[in-house]
Structure 1
Amino acid sequence: MHSFGYRANAVLTFAVTILAVMCAMASLSDTLNVPSPSADVKVLNVNWFQKQPNGHDEVSLALNISADLQWMFTWNTKQVSLWDGIIPLKEHAKFWIHTTNKYRFIDQGSNLRGKDFNLTLHWHVMPKTGKMSADKIVMAGYHLPEEYR
């Protein structure tokens, strides 16, 4: 006859094994999801484009950003991290904001005048179980002025 400790250990081991199998199945089923998020960024204004006293170019932009990241949310998604914020619910994953770039573009030298540049929207998806993933959308076709402002 087995003691209470042996029986409790067997039940606990069985429960943890079932939980691990369920987590593995959840993680594997989520890998079949192929998200197709969309984003659009419009540069409304060059707030300033100047040469710093140390000789570096510095740019600040006013932006309109619209994004639909609802495709990132599945039943296994806990949250999506974007910029310095967290999107906890699918309902908040479709948004439009008017903002300036928090971190100004700085070039060590005078090489930004008249240059083309890309804007990249990065995000991280944190699942309830499984591997955390990261992806990005690169948007091209932006151009800086030829002269300082």
Structure 2
Amino acid sequence: MHSFWYRANALLTFAVTILALLCATASISDNLNAPSPTAEIQVLNINWFQKQTHGNDEVSLTLNITADLQSLFTWNTKQLFIFVAAEYKTPKNALNQVSLWDDIIPTKESAKFSIHTSNKYRFVY
């Protein structure tokens, strides 16, 4: 006859083994997913270009953003945070990045979209 602690240890070991197998299965199933998102961004118009007094320039753009991000949603994805960034070089820095627009995609159904918008954040360079 086995003691209570021996049986509790056997039950706990079995439960942890099953949990580890479930975690490994979940990890493998997520790694087998091969997403293929597509996106296209067009600058339709430069609304205004302003030279500032301290040497920087500020630009307002009209963008057309078309994307199909539905393949990024899996059983493990609740929402997507997407953004559009501009990259440019200056004599001081080899790489500068400025966020122009962002959004949160809450569902797979809303992950296929086409919008016509202006930059949400100031583009100063």
Q: TM-score, normalised by structure 1?
A: 0.60
CA distance in 2, matches of 1:86, 1:11: 43
The match for 1:139 is: none
Consecutive unaligned residues in structure 1, runs of 5 or more: 108-149
| Shift in Å, 1:66 | 1.2
Within 5 A, what are the aligned runs for 1:1-149?
A: 1-3=2-4, 6-83=6-83, 84-107=102-125
CA distance in 2, matches of 1:19, 1:88: 29
CA distance in 1, matches of 2:115, 2:73: 20
Q: Which has the larger radius of gyration?
A: 2
| Structure 1 letter corresponding to 2:123 | F
Counterpart secondary structure, 1:41: strand
Give CA deviations for 1:35-83 in whole Å, capped at 9, x if unaligned.
1111111222212111111110111111111110011123333332223
Q: 1:48 to 1:6 in 2, by over 3 A?
A: farther
Q: 1:87 to 1:2 in 2, by over 3 A?
A: farther
**Runs of 4+ deviating beyond 4 Å:** none
Consecutive unaligned residues in structure 2, runs of 5 or more: 84-101
CA distance in 2, matches of 1:102, 1:6: 63
Counterpart secondary structure, 1:16: helix
Q: TM-score, normalised by structure 2?
A: 0.70
> Which structure has the highest helix share of the two?
2
Q: 1:79 to 1:15 in 2, by over 3 A?
A: farther
Q: For the aligned residues, what is the CA RMSD?
A: 2.1
- Alpha carbons 1:45, 1:62 under 8 Å: kept: yes
CA distance in 2, matches of 1:23, 1:47: 51
